[in-house]
Amino acid sequence: MTASMNAPMDIDTLRRILADCAGEDESTDPHGDILDVPFEDLGYDSLALMESAARIKQDYGCDVSDDLLAELRTPRALLDLVNSSLAARGGPREEVGVA
């Protein structure tokens, strides 16, 4: 299922993407209030985050650069980045990177 490229991403959608990309390990199934919990504390390594970023690109058209992804520490930071990119985008898909 592909989300609307212009609809904002909510925490439940991000939670589902993170869980899908984490694989079979139930310890990384994000429940509760995770917005400000560091990805590391949630059990997500860089590979799981890169897979999540690929899914976000597929579903939302927001291409988060690897460099920027490495700087994002919490689900809130990732949501804010994706949603601000979607709000600002008026044209084709663009890569979001460090300016």
Residue 16 has pLDDT above 60, yes or no: yes
Quickly state the pLDDT bin for 33 (edges 50, 70, 90).
confident
| Selection from 70, 61, 60, 76 nearest residue 98 by Cα | 70
Whole-angstrom Cα distance, residue 73 to residue 30? Answer: 15
Residues of the chain above pLDDT 90, percent = 59
What CA dihedral angle connects 84, 85, 87 and 90, to 10 degrees? 160
Q: How many CA atoms lie within 13 A of 46 on its CB side?
A: 7
pTM over 0.85, yes/no: no
